[in-house]
Amino acid sequence: MRASYFVEFVVLIGVMFVVAIGAYASVSCEVEEMVFCKDIHEWEHRYQPLDRTTTFSPDDQYVYCFVEIHAEEATDVTVKWTTPSGELYHTDSYELGGHTIWSLKPRLAIHGTRVASLTGTWKVRVSLSRGFGKTRQFKITGQPSIEFSPPAVVPTPFPMQLSEEKPIQGREEEPNDSLKSANLIEIDSLIQGETYYHSAQLFDQDWFKIVLPLNKSYWVCMDYFGTRSLFVQDATGDLKLDLPYKVFEEHDLNHAILGAFHQHYTTDYEKDTVDCMSAFEVCGPGVFYIRIFSERSDLVYSVRVGTSLPDWVR
């Protein structure tokens, strides 16, 4: 009987070993390297981390998180930056193809931003939809070399007139690549800009802020020009033109809102380009943010928030 128990025990251990090996083999993607640095050298779509460190100063320009991923198949990647207080500050997202090694360089601006005041230990989590991720920490320590004194109090006649954020006129002002630096745009004013595509490993983005005063429908109207790589396959396998912008409400910046949508585009197959016009409904009143981003193509765009549908829809 004892020999029988021993045989059963050995068989059980063997089965558990095989299952463990199979589970490990099923992981098709993994983070091979994850380091923090102050700068990145780029050549031929390759990255090399420079000045590696886990300690940064409020006067440093950026924290770069250099990540190298071995992907046997396509995978989605998210990089989440969490403040010392546990607040999710920012998320970067990527879509990677398979059968290759990818290098990513998400970054966080420090100098001149709110990040400079959030000293302490930050956490960065890299997650893969088809593999194991990694979590690393870095610190921001010290005080900025330049401290801004509070503005002088100037007597103001009653009633006090509150200063309003000044809308931009014409071309977008830089930088506006984060929610904190979003440019305020007026209703029915035309704004122009560009976003840039970088070998499917990182992408550019522009943020805009709109204040809608009345309880009515407004329309975010975009005209953008890029390559036909903006076309993607939906769940049915049909091609559709990807929408390179999202709209968020100020009180819920984690989820893009849904609304009525109109789209019209023309393609030039010889030049491999597409010119698209779209109109997205937003209902006031409220404060909203528009995020314009490029993950597949360089874009040249214009955006207008209007009180009525554009003529091409009619």
φ, ψ for residue 220, nearest 5 deg? -85, 110
With a threshold of 0.85, does the pTM exceed it?
A: no
Number of domains the chain contains: 2
The domain containing residue 34 runs over which residues?
29-140
Predicted pLDDT of residue 17: 54
In angstroms, the CA 14 to CA 145 distance is: 62
Per-position pLDDT tens, the chain of length 314: 455 655 565 556 655 554 444 444 456 789 999 999 999 888 766 788 999 999 999 999 999 999 999 988 888 899 999 999 998 888 888 888 887 888 889 999 898 888 888 999 999 999 998 888 899 999 999 987 654 444 444 444 444 443 455 665 555 566 677 888 888 888 988 888 888 776 555 567 889 999 998 888 999 999 999 888 888 776 677 778 888 999 999 888 888 898 888 999 899 888 889 999 999 999 988 999 999 988 788 889 999 999 888 888 87
**Do 230 and 281 have their domain in common?**
yes
User: Do residues 247 and 261 make contact, with C-beta atoms less than 8 angstroms apart?
Assistant: no
User: Do residues 201 and 103 make contact, with C-beta atoms less than 8 angstroms apart?
Assistant: yes
Tokens 């522009």 found at: 206
Closest CA to 63 of 106, 93, 33, 108: 108
Closest CA to 121 of 212, 74, 176, 56: 56
CA dihedral 165, 169, 173, 177 (to 10 degrees): 70
The token pair at 306 is: 């209007």
**Do 216 and 117 have their domain in common?**
no
The token pair at 200 is: 């499917």
**Do 107 and 224 have their domain in common?**
no
In angstroms, the CA 280 to CA 303 distance is: 11
**Do 100 and 47 have their domain in common?**
yes
**Do 265 and 205 have their domain in common?**
yes
Is the N-terminal amide bond of 49 cis, ω within 30° of 0? no
CATH at 242: 2.60.120.380
**In-domain check, residue 163:** no
Predicted pLDDT of residue 152: 42
**In-domain check, residue 311:** no
φ, ψ for residue 21, nearest 5 deg? -65, -40
Predicted pLDDT of residue 165: 55
**In-domain check, residue 2:** no
**Kind and range of the H or E run holding 22:** helix 2-25
Q: At 44, is the secondary structure helix, strand, or coil? A: coil
Predicted pLDDT of residue 130: 82
User: Do residues 210 and 313 make contact, with C-beta atoms less than 8 angstroms apart?
Assistant: no
CATH at 104: 2.60.40.1930
**In-domain check, residue 148:** no
**Interior angle at CA 140, CA 139 and CA 141, nearest 5:** 110
The token pair at 110 is: 């420090």
Predicted pLDDT of residue 259: 83
Radius of gyration of the chain (CA): 25
